[in-house]
Amino acid sequence: MLRHEDLFHVGIVVEDLQAGMAAYGDPLGLDWRECFYPTPDVLTPEGFHTMEVGAVYSRSGPVHYELLQQHPGGLWADLGLHHLGYFTDDLPGEIERLCAAGATREGVMHRDGSPVGAYLLLDRTRIELIPRSAADRLIGPAV
């Protein structure tokens, strides 16, 4: 079950990562980790699609900021606030629990055939679930 302390980031879609880092960095006192560009296979209601995404996390946190490069026509099409990101210890179980509570599955990201994240729409709010095991890779070790 998700807990409030599992919230680790807020995702925002921007037109350009570098411009977004500048726009959010100074006003909010943020510095950034390295940009990364994964190409997950995403299972949507229409089937599997390989999607390219550019992303960067703030170093400051929690709660961290994640900027995502806009990609028209996909999960990252609309500019602005995109999702609340939570760590989970049981990705498949948490997806099922939230769907049973009325959430809609938008996309489940896979790498090498295994799920590595998911977007669900809960009421009108998008939730991203990420395995806690990815924490060090995404935001660095806990201090």
Query: Could you report the per-residue pLDDT of 10-40, keeping only the tens digit for each?
Result: 999 999 999 999 999 999 999 999 999 999 9
pTM for the whole structure:
0.93
Only one residue has tokens 């949507």, namely: 44
Q: Could you say which residues of the chain have pLDDT below 70?
A: 142-143
Task: Count how many Cα atoms sit within 13 Å of the Cα of residue 75 in the half-sphere of its side chain.
Answer: 31
Q: Which domains does the chain have, with CATH numbers?
A: 4-139 (3.10.180.10)
Fill in the DSSP letter of residue 82.
Answer: E
For tokens 């679930």, name the residue: 129
Which residue in the block uniquely carries the two structure tokens 């938008």? Answer: 106
| Contact criterion met (CB below 8 Å) for 130 and 85 | yes
Burial class, 102, CB count within 10 angstroms (exposed 0-12 / middle 13-18 / buried 19+): exposed
